[in-house]
């Protein structure tokens, strides 16, 4: 979050994982959207409750490639999010 806040003017997209060391991907996503409601976020995980995913999608999640994903799948999700 601190890096995003410092660099938010030049960040076009944030790629998150659902499981991260300091805060969950969901918590980070919500914090990012509060700081910048227009930020595009793609989130990936191998295990996510469907309710979490649906809630984040309503809040503007742009993509969700499930792990394990192919590079082409990740690239497609990023491409779609940046449209």
Who's near 34: CB < 8 A, 6+ residues apart? none
pLDDT at residue 16 in the model: 94
**Domains held by the chain: number:** 1
- Tens digits of pLDDT across the chain (83 residues): 888 999 978 999 999 998 888 899 999 999 999 999 999 999 998 876 777 788 899 999 999 998 899 999 999 999 999 99
CATH number at residue 77: 3.40.50.2300
Question: Using CA atoms, how far apart are residues 16 and 71, in angstroms rounded to an integer?
Answer: 15
pLDDT at residue 54 in the model: 86
The residue range of the domain holding 22 is: 2-81
Q: What is the DSSP string of 23-56?
A: S-HHHHHHHHHHH-TT-EEEEEBSS--HHHHHHH
Question: Using CA atoms, how far apart are residues 73 and 67, in angstroms rounded to an integer?
Answer: 10
């Amino acid at each position: 979050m601190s890096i995003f806040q410092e660099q938010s003017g030049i960040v076009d997209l944030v790629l998150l994982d659902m499981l991260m060391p300091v805060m969950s991907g969901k918590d980070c996503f919500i914090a990012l959207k509060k700081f910048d409601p227009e930020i595009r976020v793609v989130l990936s995980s191998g295990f996510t409750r469907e309710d979490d995913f649906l809630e984040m999608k309503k809040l503007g999640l742009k993509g969700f490639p499930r792990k394990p994903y192919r590079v082409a799948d990740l690239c497609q999700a990023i491409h779609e999010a940046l449209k």
